[in-house]
Each structure stands twice: as C-alpha cells, then as structure tokens.
Amino acid sequence: MNNSIDELILQADSAMSGLGHAASTTMQYRWAWSQYARFCSEQAVTTFTDEVVASYLQFVATQFRDGHMKEWKRKLLRKAALVLEEVARTGSYRWALSSPTHCP
C-alpha cells in the first residue's frame, strides 16, 4: 500500500458511489473519512498504511471506551477505515459485514 490519504479517500468515495447508498449514508462516510484524514494530519502521516489504520482503530476504541463517543460513531469510524483499507488493497470495495477481528 502506497496511497496518499487524500487520493485514497477519493477512490473510496468513487468505489462506494455505485452501491446505491442513500445520500445520508454517503455523507456519513465522507464525514468519517474526514476524521481519519484529520487523525493522519495530526500524526503527520500522508501515506496510508496498515500500521496507521491499526493506530487509528486503537484511538477510536480508546475514545469510545473513555466515553468520548457513542457506539454508532465508533462503528461508523471503524467501518470507514476498513473501507479505505480494502480500497487501498484491492482498488475496489464490495459491501459486506466487517469482521470483528478488526476491533481493537
């Protein structure tokens, strides 16, 4: 994986556009990806890697555990990061249930 964060988000958005999601779902994923981009910016990360995803998922889990976010938001942020991971790995995205093994 050697994708810039911004390029990968655009690829993921494009990959999800043909899945027939409601506009509100698309907006939620765009918001979640902006949160991932903000996290990366704060960490001075510009390239998408598995290690950064793991760090982000741990951050999200900690924020949830410490009461700083609701369960729905944790799930959305986690799923959005996993979408980015799949798009980075395969160049596409297939809507499916996420594996709980990705939960820190």
pTM attached to this predicted model: 0.84
Neighbouring C-beta atoms of residue 84, cutoff 10 Å: 28
Domains and CATH numbers, the chain: 3-97 (1.10.150)
Handedness of CA 29, 12, 102, 98 (dihedral sign): positive
Confidence of residue 35 (pLDDT cuts 50, 70, 90): very high
Q: How far is CA 33 from CA 18, 63, 79, in A?
A: 18, 17, 10
pLDDT tens digits for 60-98? 999 999 999 999 999 999 999 999 999 999 887 776 544
